[in-house]
Amino acid sequence: MARRRCGLTIGGYALLMVVLLLLAVLSYGGFTYSEFQRVRADVETASMVAARDEIGEAMDREMRSALALAARYASWDEVMQQLRAPRYYAYWRENRMRDAGVLPPRVVDAEIYGPDGVALAQFDHATLPGQVAIPPPPAYVDYSGEVPSLLVFRAVYSDSVVIGYTGLRIAFVDELRHGYGYRYADPDSILFQPPTTETLTWADLKANVTFALRENPMSEAVTKLLSGTILNLSIILGVFTLLLFPALVFLIVRPLRAISTHIDRLKDSPGGLVLDDLAGILPIAETEKIRESLNAYQSQLVEVHSSLEEKSHELWSMAHHDALTGAKNRRAFEEFMHNLPHVLGDRDIGVCFALFDVNHFKAINDTYGHSVGDQVLKVIGGRISSVLRKGEELFRIGGNEFAVVLLDCDETSALRIAERCHEKIIGHDFSKLGIREPMRISAGLAIAHIDDLEDLQTLQWKADVAMYRAKRPGHANVVMFTEALARDSEGLFSSWVNTAVYDAVVYGKGLEMFYQPIVDLANGNVCHYEALVRIRQDGELIQPSNIFPVIEARRLEVELDRAVIRKVLADLKDGVVCMGTGVSINLSGPTLVHERVCSWLSGFEPFLKDYRVMIEVTETALITQIGLANENLSRLRARGFDIALDDFGSGYSSVRYLSSMPVDVVKFDTTLVQSLKDRGQANMIIHLAQMILESGHHLVAEGIEDQATLESARAAGFGRGQGYLMGRPAERTGLKRISFDNVTPFPNDRLA
């Protein structure tokens, strides 16, 4: 009896109760674990569905791209020339077809067929059939080789008459794997099960796709942690179960209070607390076991917490460092530049931005392989880092571009540091990597003061200008930016296009507006003209396809829009636009949310009595700040401006914008208008147009280039139209009315 009071064992009479309690605890643990596994399986199933959907979407986009490519090839004027004069087709196909730049590298083969479906010439190496059925079959997949390829055929029209056909064989597997971003699927694992036949439809190919999910190390780590937590929790609950019954029998209130107090302290403690020996209160073996388990569990929690802190630090380091060179990456660079004014505070010091570019790096990669190129970047990154002063960090901001921000550094010191970096690199023996040519770098430097925020924001651009001057033959490898470099028309930035765009935006040099009519489809009257930007450089006209990539890369959208506003105002004053019509101006998203956009457009108000002035908004530009944009658009609308939603159908949430934005006119994107000729899509587009008309909006059909599209747009209910059939963009506006009776479609050589 005394032995039992010492608490060494509980007694046989409580055995049944203990067993039942233990079974309950084990059942709870098993149920919890099974629920966890079920949820994990559901997540994996959902991921597989999402991965299949995103691969399907990518394949649909690839098919649309192939159809568009086939349409562009079929509308190429040289294809029409070959159909009219096929005697030179063999020479043209072997020497001209590829060099013209119309067909991208992924087009494996291309063929032109006469109206009878027979190829204009037969070639031994041709991979397309020598004859096709009339009409040709729809696009299908050829799986006769190791990998499938897509065959697309297209009719060639001249004055709405079929004069022949074209065929393309397109390799799409590599583009499907590496040309799209996948969140769930591992792109390298995308495969297609070989079919029983050599040809199959695109839908059948989508059904045969196989893939694997992306690996998620964090998910595996969380799974292990949760599994261990469930197991540990089950063990602790079991121990408490064993302790509960004897505690109630023997009324061990003080040990339970001591344990409870210790647990409460653990809740608020960062760790390190240890439960003291309970033998002085009541020496019960189960109570002592609970104490030891709590101490062990607390120790494990401390270790887990420490491990999580280490993992968090590692993840932060991985997110801010370049895995190849060990330098800070682009993300770290942007955070550094964003925080730089705040970090330095009121200190009046000079800041130098140094940009380093490896000369002829692409040639090194192409000649010696990417592995050697990677080693070159590692060496160059290490050489530059070895020259930097304490506290200065190297950033890799591009493929072969490195940047350094030198603080408290004047021009002389900055040049000396950059030159030492160059000396370190040319002094390295790159022949150990198998490179026979000398390695060189070009460095561009730009100086600004920390209190001049505007100069600080343009540092990278200035260093870019200086760096590209350094890359030119006959110049030093290290160049400091000066204003003369920006003004020098011969000092190319990255190309003559960059220089022309910058000069046009900043100085207005070469900026021209072309005007394309938007016509009433009922009577041919010109409603207004859309102002389209062009830049003339050295007698050559630069198109938007070359202008806007530079604008977006340099974030000059607002500056370009202001220059366009000034130019259109000047054209109105000079009478370039016919009085009684109007003009529409495209504005970017950053301009629409700018606080001064209304004041910039106030110069048009005196013209509103004689002209209709419309602001065109591309729908995708307002996704992030639609509320602020709506406020500015409402103010402009109240002043007499019309608002148009441009490129409807090419972006996201079009209907949502219509319901929330102050829009007067909706311009259907060219792709939607062209789809009116497709019976399968026309009904949906017609119903969409009718819904928008019933909501009180005017409709404009873009991309009308032939009589068939014009008639389709009229039948769908479009009141206005725009396209080469009615008029090409011109430097001055033309007639106020266009006749549809004898309209001849323009050649399909649209401007970008």
**11-15, 517-521, 584-588, 603-607: which has the minimum mean pLDDT?**
11-15
Instruction: Band the pLDDT of 745: cuts 50, 70, 90.
Output: very low
Per-residue pLDDT for 14 more than 80?
no
**Helix H or strand E segment including 264:** helix 253-268
Q: Cα 112 vs. chain centroid, distance in angstroms?
A: 36
DSSP-assigned letter for residue 603: G
What residues pair up with 618 in beta bridges, in sequence order?
646
538: exposed, middle or buried (C-beta count within 10 Å: 0-12, 13-18, 19+)? exposed
pLDDT per position as a tens digit, 613-624: 999 987 544 444
What pLDDT digit, counting tens, does each position of 505-520 carry?
888 888 999 999 999 9
Peptide bond preceding 135: is omega within 30 degrees of 0, i.e. cis? yes
Percentage with pLDDT > 90 across the chain? 18
For 266, residues 6+ apart whose C-beta sits below 8 A from its C-beta are: 273, 294, 298
Angle at CA 741, nearest 5°, toward 156 and 159? 10
Q: Please give the span between the terminal C-alpha atoms of the chain, in angstroms, as a whole number.
A: 100
User: Which pLDDT does position 636 carry in this prediction?
Assistant: 93
Residues 571-579 have a mean pLDDT of: 90
Q: Are strands 199-200 and 612-618 parallel, antiparallel or unpaired?
A: unpaired
Residue 37 contacts residue 174 (beta carbons within 8 Å): no
Q: Is the dihedral of CA 481, 486, 492, 494 positive or negative?
A: positive
Q: What residue ranges define each of the domains in the chain, with the CATH number in brackets? A: 51-210 (3.30.450.20), 217-319 (no CATH), 330-493 (3.30.70.270), 504-721 (3.20.20.450)
Q: What is the pLDDT of residue 695?
A: 84
pLDDT (tens digit per residue) in 51-83: 888 888 998 998 999 999 999 998 898 898 888
- Rounded (to 5) percent helix, strand, coil in the chain: 50, 20, 30
Residue with more model confidence, 298 or 165: 165
For residue 207, pLDDT over 90 is answered with no
Residue where the block lists tokens 């599209």 = 709
Contacts of 439 (CB under 8 A, 6+ apart): 358, 359, 364, 376, 380, 425, 426, 428, 430
Closest CA to 539 of 481, 597, 496: 496
Q: Token pair of 677, please? A: 């000729």
Instruction: For the beta carbon of residue 688, count every other beta carbon within 10 angstroms.
Output: 19
Note the pLDDT of residue 622.
44
Most confident of 35-49, 200-214, 629-643: 629-643
| pLDDT for position 406 | 87
**Residues 295-298: contacts with CB under 8 Å, at least 24 apart:** 297/232, 297/236, 298/266, 298/271, 298/273, 298/274
> What is the enclosing helix (H) or strand (E) of 155?
strand 149-158
Q: Cα separation of 679 and 674, whole Å?
A: 11
- What does the block give as tokens for 311? 């993992």
Closest CA to 427 of 375, 366, 383, 477: 383
Task: Give 725-743 pLDDT, tens digit per residue.
Answer: 988 998 877 666 676 655 5
Residue 127: band (very low, low, confident or very high) from pLDDT cuts 50, 70, 90: confident
CA–CA–CA angle 457, 463, 466 (5° rounding): 145
Two structure tokens written together for 700: 């404009």
DSSP per-residue letters across 519-549? EETTT-BEEEEEEEEEEEETTEEEPHHHHHH
Spatial separation of the C-alpha atoms in residues 3 and 149, rounded to whole Å: 85
Give the separation between CA 447 and CA 429, rounded to whole angstroms.
32
pTM for the structure as a whole:
0.39
Nearest to 203 by CA among 401, 331, 60, 398: 60
Region 321-341 average pLDDT: 83
